[in-house]
A and B are shown apart, each in its own frame.
Chain A
Amino acid sequence: MTSWSQAIVFFQLTLLCPLVAFGATPIAPGTDEYDARVRPFFKAYCIKCHGPDNSKGGLTLHTLDGDLASGRGLERWEDVLEALESVEMPPEDEPQPDEAERKVVTDWINKGLGIYVEKASREAPATTARRLTNFEYENTMRDLLDVDLNLIQDLPKDPLKPYHFNNTAEFMLLGPEQIDRYLQVARTAMASAIVDPEKPETHKSRQEWDSGESNKGFAKSLNRNEIAIQNSRRGTPGQGMGVRDFPRTGEFRIRFQASAVFPNGATELPLRFVMGYSLNINSSTQEVTPVGVVHLRSPRDNPQIYELGGRIENYPVQLGKVHKGKRRPDTLTITPQNIYDDGTLNDDNRFLYWPRQPDMPRAVIDWIEFEAPITEVWPPEHHTRILFDSPLRQSEPRKYVHEVLSRFMSRAYRRPATTEEVNRFLKVHDLLKPELGTIEATMRETLAMVLVTPQFLLHTKADGEVIGHEFELASALSYFLWGSMPDKELIELASSGDLNDSAVLAKQVRRMLADPRSNDFVSNFTNQWLSLPKMKTVPINRDLFPRFLYYVEAGERAGTEKPYIPTIRDHMIDETVAFIAELIRRNASVTNLVDSDFAMLNQPLAAHYGVEGVEGHRIRPVPIKPDHHLGGLLTHGSVLIGNGTGSAPHPIYRAVWLREAILGDQVKAPPAEVPALTDSAGDSAEQALSIKDLLAKHRTVESCNDCHVRLDPWGIPFERYNAIGKYQPLVPKEGTRVRGFDKKKDNDLAGYTEYVESVNMQEVQANARVPHGPNVDSMPQLKAHLLKSRKHDIAENVIRRLLTYGIGRELNYRDRSDVEKILSLSRENGFLLQDMIVAICQSSTFRGATNNK
């Protein structure tokens, strides 16, 4: 039986002494050789299942064109190559070719593909032109205009496909609706970016709270200036501060004096501000947007003054209601929230109601001030960056406009704008001027039109030497690693022609990764790569996991998840993103994806996973021990919940995730007629038990078995992690009916623990034999197997994902050799993640064909 480890050794050997290792004669390319050598191989090992009689997996080999140079059927040849190289085919229970036989065929395919690619890339390079994704668009507008606006809620969503990136060129199509929306959004943004000359009046509001004892109902013994956890009691700052007659555009500032009370000995309290609708009424139509979080550490006798800010445009305004024929003024409510969470808040389900939490930290707020717009510098810098001060403005207005356009367009186009381009917009300006009058109004509209040109909206590559390709490289780098336009340093290096130098490039990549803007890249990339967002919509079974989420207890929203506060699910997504960011920061090996000696945790996460000694909301690296059952990505709550049913683990989802996201396999979707497993299991405690049986039953059907025999074993070792991503080695005894969780009886933590112990009696079976591999019992052995035998695949997968995201198109057989190069480079230094990103940026695929000249 062939094992993967042997294959790796074999592979390495052949690199050292190619072609002679096993004395096999290579097959020359061409159809004659195909008939003489390759066809017999297919006939001996493959045709039974992939031939005229059978086409398992939709693949037939007898119809494949043996002339690879023709370019026909290359995608399928690539499938064949992958199946053979990964030793996935032929299946284990079929006769196996020996290594040498396998090798000559894969070499022949590889060579044929190579010849074709060389020929074809001279003819028609792959399309990479695409529009900016919404994420890139918003970031670019922010960096271009220096005004941070939420713009994308008005744009059509980017095409999203599980395990694929939403910047894939071929899916990024443009239509008139899209352009229409771009224009509206650009007008909105320009209205904020360019202000009118006269300084507006500044609106100021202030509210104070004294420290007297509140005596209103439940709030008794809570001081009037205190906020208990998730509490918005009347008469306290938690109720929020309403603002009226505020300006609708401009920067705002919230200042406040705050301290905290820590009866439980905690040292830090996260205080979050949200702004928008008042949260004081129980209605589902509220909308708020977070302003920011401060971490209070000082005691009541030493209050500190804090400041938060933002743009008013980004916050939802609560429209005034019509009352007796008169409309009341619109309001904006500033609500401070005590979001302290040590993971014990659900120990008692009435806990979140004061005064049931007397030992819990409270925030103290003495006063809040709101001020907008900020006019200390007027006009603001973002305005003068466009309409700069210059004597030309008076003396030669036309020349001034030309200069304004030239500067703005060169930044918007991420390269120097040509005179022709500028002149054309001078004409646009001239058309608008008579009607719009002022330079401010005219420039707003003119520049809005600049922002709907293809030069701004599209990523493109110029032909020939018209405009320096180095600017394209600068953009490629900045959109890859920042999701935004290049900064001054990149543009300068592009102008001087130094950027294409590999050493300069490497230095820039490391600089960019160290810049906070790279957080956007890591978050965007990680969410899509690992298909994380779905975990937020998995319906958690409240009867089975009553302590996992915070629920609204009363009112019309009773039983739904508490809105407007950060939840454990948000923390879990942050955990995964922070983990990848930390690996990049440390330049750690990709093997950490499988297992690591640290986890990225904050207090709520640590409480969830059962790790002691983590305080506060900030996610940071925490050393872990084996009995935490953590380490690597595979045990992240974000992954386990997203690939479960909300009631039970789902071995197939988890297997698909492991193979797609980590091993880089493409797993075929099941045929449509097959009832989804979730439909028949997992909706209730009793049924949750039968998933394994179901799988076994499923595998008895041959058409199912063909795929599932290679799939299920990868998911079974995850079984000891439950549907909320917690290590849970015990489950209810098979075949028994368990009593449901009784909210009244099992009210507090002790009751819950007793309940869980009373129903979970039996150890979870988590062993399976992985295809072409050993028997694996539970997570540690799965990890060990992956690290021992699949390291190479995992590294290749990470390279492919990063490169695909970086260049904005799906990779194909043309890119194989470049990926191989990066991979072998990376192997030499132990698959270090940051180095890997540098090597990707240095690769010819990333730099574009232009670099090959």
Chain B
Amino acid sequence: MPSAKAPPSVAPPTTSNETQEVMKHKSWHLDRRELLKGGGVALALPLLNGMGKAMGAMSKAPGEGGMPKRMLVSYFAYGAYMPDGPSGVPARKKNDPKNEHHQWSWWPCKDAGPLSFNKSSAPFALLKDNISYLRGLDHAGGWKLGGHSSGDVFATGADMMGAEKTNNISIDQVAAQRHGHKTRYSALVLGTEGGTGSYGSCKTLSHRGPGRPILSMHKPQEIFNRLFNPYAGKGVEQVRAGLKRDASILDLVLEHSQSFKNRLGRQDQGKVDEYLDSIRALEQRVERTSKWSHQPLPEIDTKGLNLEVSHKDPEEYIRCMYDLIYLAFQTDSTRFATLMLESEQSSSSEMWNYATYVLGYKGATHDIAHKRPADYSGQWDQWRAKQHAYFLQRLRDTPEGDGNMLDRTLVLWGSAHPHASHSTKNYPIQLAGGSKLGFRHGHLHEFVGAKKVPLTNLFVSMLNAVDVPVKKFADSTGPMTEVLR
């Protein structure tokens, strides 16, 4: 189209047929009537994106069988130390019989095949049968973004600089659209810096759709309250009364906006539609909150949970964030989460000093990626590995059904660039968990040369494993059978 700029031409891989049908049945007016019967929670209260419906095993939606299937995408910035070829793929010519430079490589072993663990990846040694390393993957949409910005599309694979112009829906939100109604919160979006950041320097991994980043939360106390104390001490009745009123007002605002829209020029009506969609989404959230107010909140044992932790103690802080995700999963408050552990553009936050606090490194955390001091960057990668392994271990130590929580949780962990020059190709990628969701672990797989496929192929397989039957996600070319049973 010649006019201004065409809307993103790549259809977001969002709605399966079934989801669309659900939307059709759920006319907003019908919902509201139901809502008025039910009552709910004050409109501005819950910022968790979308409120789910039933909580825990005790409150499964009718017809919902089986155990919950969960997913976490976790991101670290600045890449990792890969002293191999130009993009972290082994340089075949290199003569290093003792394999020394590999001891601090982010990749646990040199060659594709069964996993063995070097110093950097040692914290994962005990999780050998629960993890896979995937070498040679990346998002084509990230290539043009540059090394300081490609993290924007880590969970979306969007072609921001090309056809799509803006970021697009993230993998967690695709899953949440499909299954989010089954839990109190459709998804949990966390980060260490909070907010959305801006174009090229995202502070969140999650995006609702084109150009709609979802604010990440980064304060442990706030996250805890939103998760487990959402009514802020108010009685449920009081909360419901407030919501009843909010619903009526939203109704009027919606009418008001509708008649305004009709007066506008054709070209401007689309923008107001975007607005109306947002109001309707708030409406739906009000409705969900109302429904959920009939379910008791989970009792949480806060012992050992330090919610006052500060960035000054990165280990405590990161573990607290992981603990909160663990609790949200364990109580089935949500099944889909993202965690932006670090962001590239963090010079104004405490993230900048993490390596100093942790390792005593004299300089910004970011510099470790550039200066390649093998000892520090290796230690830094090892420290990150330790924190992530802590989370995986916690899931694995929690029995669930005939297995453990990790068996039904897919955990993607990685970064959007490999090494010192922040190239935007060949990401460090580790996938953990999901043994009972069809995944097979214990290997390093290599996707280079003729075997190269888009990273989004893995996304397709991950989504399929949590019962989201998509065939395509962003630029994917099919599922990733290598990691499946």
Give me the interface of A with B, judged by CB distance under 8 Å: 71-72, 74, 116, 120, 123-130, 156-162, 166, 169-171, 173-181, 183-184, 187, 284-285, 420-421, 424-425, 427-428, 431-432, 435, 449, 452-455, 457-458, 460-464, 466-467, 537, 539, 669, 671-673, 675-676, 678-680, 683, 809-810, 812
Once the chains bind, are B86 and A673 in contact (CB under 8 Å)?
Answer: yes
A424 adjacent to B271 (CB under 8 Å): no
Distance, CA A679 to CA B423, complexed state (A): 11
Tell which of B86, B197, B211, B259 has the most Cβ of chain A within 10 Å.
B211
Could you show 18 A-B contacts with beta carbons less than 8 Å apart? A123-B3, A126-B4, A129-B267, A157-B195, A157-B196, A159-B166, A160-B201, A170-B166, A176-B282, A176-B285, A183-B44, A431-B245, A435-B245, A452-B253, A460-B272, A462-B265, A672-B425, A810-B5
CB neighbours of A428 from chain B (8 A): 249, 252-253
Closest A residue by C-beta to B5: A170
**A453-B278 CB under 8 A given contacts A173-B211, A458-B271, A810-B5:** no
The 5 closest A-B pairs by CB, nearest first: A71-B2, A173-B211, A129-B271, A129-B268, A175-B212
Expressed in whole angstroms, the Cα–Cα distance for A261 and B249 within the complex equals: 62
Interface residues of B (CB under 8 A from A): 1-5, 43-44, 47, 49, 86-87, 143-144, 146-147, 161, 165-166, 195-201, 208-215, 241, 245, 248-249, 252-253, 255-257, 259-261, 263-268, 270-272, 274-275, 278-279, 281-282, 285, 310, 312, 347-348, 350, 364, 370-371, 420-425
With A431-B245, A672-B146 already in contact, the answer to whether A125 and B267 are too (CB < 8 A) is yes
**Contact partner, A177, options B47, B87, B265, B350, Cβ 8 Å:** B47
Pick from A183, A453, A461: contact of B264, CB under 8 Å: A461
| Residue in A129, A455, A539 with the greatest tally of chain B CB atoms within 10 Å | A129
Task: Specify the chain B residue showing the minimal Cβ separation from A117.
Answer: B2
Nearest CB in chain B to that of A435: its residue = B245
Which chain B residues border A125 with CB–CB below 8 Å?
3, 265, 267
Residues of A within 8 A of B371 (CB): 683
Tell me if B144 and A672 are in contact (CB < 8 A).
Answer: yes
Q: Given A176-B278, A432-B245 in contact, is the A679-B264 Cβ separation under 8 Å?
A: no
Residues of B within 8 Å of A458, CB to CB, are: 271-272, 275
> Could you say which of A158, A184, A425, A672 has the most chain B C-beta atoms within 10 Å of its C-beta?
A672
B196 pairs with A187, CB closer than 8 A: no
B165, B264, B265, B371, most chain A CB atoms within 10 A: B265
Residues of A within 8 A of B144 (CB): 669, 672
**Given A285-B310, A462-B263, CB of A432 within 8 Å of CB of B249:** yes
Complex partner residue of B49 from A123, A177, A181, A420, CB under 8 angstroms: A177
Nearest CB on A from B2, distance (A) = 4
Which residue of chain B lies nearest to A179 when distances are taken between CB atoms in the complex?
B278
Q: Which residues of chain A have C-beta atoms less than 8 A from B249's C-beta? A: 428, 431-432, 449
Nearest CB on B from A71, distance (A): 4
Once the chains bind, are B271 and A460 in contact (CB under 8 Å)?
Answer: yes
Cross-chain contact A460 with B5 (CB below 8 angstroms)? no
Asked whether, in the complex, the Cβ of B267 is within 8 Å of the Cβ of A672, the reply is no
Known: A127-B268, A453-B256. A539 touches B364 (CB 8 A): yes
Sample of 20 further A-B pairs with CB below 8 A, known A453-B260, A669-B144: A72-B2, A116-B2, A120-B2, A125-B3, A127-B271, A128-B268, A129-B271, A157-B198, A176-B278, A180-B47, A187-B44, A284-B350, A424-B252, A431-B252, A461-B267, A462-B263, A537-B347, A679-B422, A680-B421, A683-B370
Provide the bound-state CA to CA distance between A679 and B271, in Å: 43
By the criterion CB–CB under 8 Å, are B214 and A130 in contact?
A: no
Assess whether B263 is in contact with A173, with CB atoms less than 8 Å apart: no
Q: In the bound complex, do residue B196 and residue A171 qualify as a contact, i.e. CB atoms below 8 Å apart? A: no
Contact A461 B265 (CB under 8 A): yes
Interchain CB contact under 8 A, B215 and A460: no
Smallest CB gap from A812: residue in B: B4
Q: How far is the CA of A347 from the CA of B120 in the complex (A)?
A: 45
Task: Kindly state the separation between the CA atoms of A679 and B210 in the bound complex, as whole angstroms.
Answer: 33
In the bound assembly, the distance between CA atoms of A673 and B89 in angstroms comes to: 13
The CA-CA distance from A463 to B49 in the complex, in Å, is 35
Q: How far is the CA of A457 from the CA of B279 in the complex (A)?
A: 13
CA distance A615 to B43 in the complex (A): 55
Tell me how far the C-beta of B297 lies from the nearest C-beta in chain A, rounded to whole angstroms: 21
Evaluate contact between A173 and B279: CB separation under 8 angstroms: no
Which residues of chain B come closer than 8 Å to A810, judged between CB atoms?
4-5
Q: Which of A126, A159, A161 touches B267 (beta carbons < 8 Å)?
A: A126
Bound CA–CA A230/B285 (angstroms): 51
Q: Separation in Å of the B308 CB from the closest CB of chain A?
A: 11
B4 to A676, Cβ gap below 8 A? no
Residues of A within 8 A of B256 (CB): 421, 424-425, 453
Q: Which of A123, A124, A130, A464 has the most CB of B within 10 A?
A: A124
Q: Provided the pairs A171-B166, A449-B249, A672-B424 are in contact, do residues A127 and B4 lie with their beta carbons within 8 angstroms?
A: yes
Given A160-B199, A161-B200, A174-B275, CB of A676 within 8 Å of CB of B422: yes
Which residues of chain B are within 8 angstroms of A176 by Cβ–Cβ distance? 208, 278-279, 281-282, 285
Contact of A537 among B208, B264, B348 (CB under 8 A): B348
Q: How far is the CA of A164 from the CA of B420 in the complex (A)?
A: 28
Q: Decide yes or no: A175 and B267 within 8 Å by CB, A157-B195, A453-B253, A683-B370 being known contacts.
A: no
- Does B196 lie within 8 Å of A170, measured CB to CB? no
Which residues of chain A are within 8 angstroms of B423 by Cβ–Cβ distance? 672-673, 675
How far, in whole Å, are A801 and B385 apart by their CA atoms in the complex? 47
Contact assessment for A460 and B49 in the assembled complex, using a CB-CB cutoff below 8 Å: no
Q: Which residues of A contact B370 (CB under 8 A)?
A: 678-679, 683
Q: Is the CB of A175 within 8 A of B347?
A: no
A174 vs B212: C-alpha distance when bound (angstroms): 7
Please determine whether A180 and B265 come into contact, CB atoms closer than 8 angstroms: no
Whether B197 and A157, one on each chain, are in contact in the complex, defined by CB atoms closer than 8 angstroms, is: yes
Task: Determine whether the beta carbon of B210 is less than 8 Å from that of A173.
Answer: yes
Closest to B421 in A: A675
B-chain residues with CB within 8 Å of residue A170 when the two chains form the complex: 4-5, 165-166
Distance, CA A420 to CA B260, complexed state (A): 10
A678 to B367, CA, bound (A): 12
CB distance from B420 to the nearest CB of A (A): 6
The CA-CA distance from A452 to B149 in the complex, in Å, is 32
Q: List the A residue with the shortest CB-CB distance to B209.
A: A175
- In the bound complex, do residue B2 and residue A462 qualify as a contact, i.e. CB atoms below 8 Å apart? no
| Known A171-B166, A171-B199, A180-B44: A673·B425 in contact at CB below 8 Å | yes
A676 touches B421 (CB 8 A): yes
Residues of B within 8 A of A675 (CB): 421, 423
Chain A residue contacts of B2, Cβ below 8 A: 71-72, 74, 116, 120
Question: CA of A424 to CA of B281 in the docked complex: distance in angstroms?
Answer: 21
- Chain B residues with CB below 8 A from A160, complex form: 198-201
In whole Å, how far is A684's beta carbon from the nearest beta carbon of chain B?
9
Instruction: Evaluate contact between A424 and B263: CB separation under 8 angstroms.
Output: no
Interface pair B278/A175, CB less than 8 Å apart: yes
Interface centre among B261, B282, B348 (most CB of A within 10 A): B282
A176 to B268, CA, bound (A): 19
The answer to whether A453 touches B421, judged by C-beta atoms less than 8 angstroms apart, is no
Name the residue on B nearest A183 (C-beta): B44
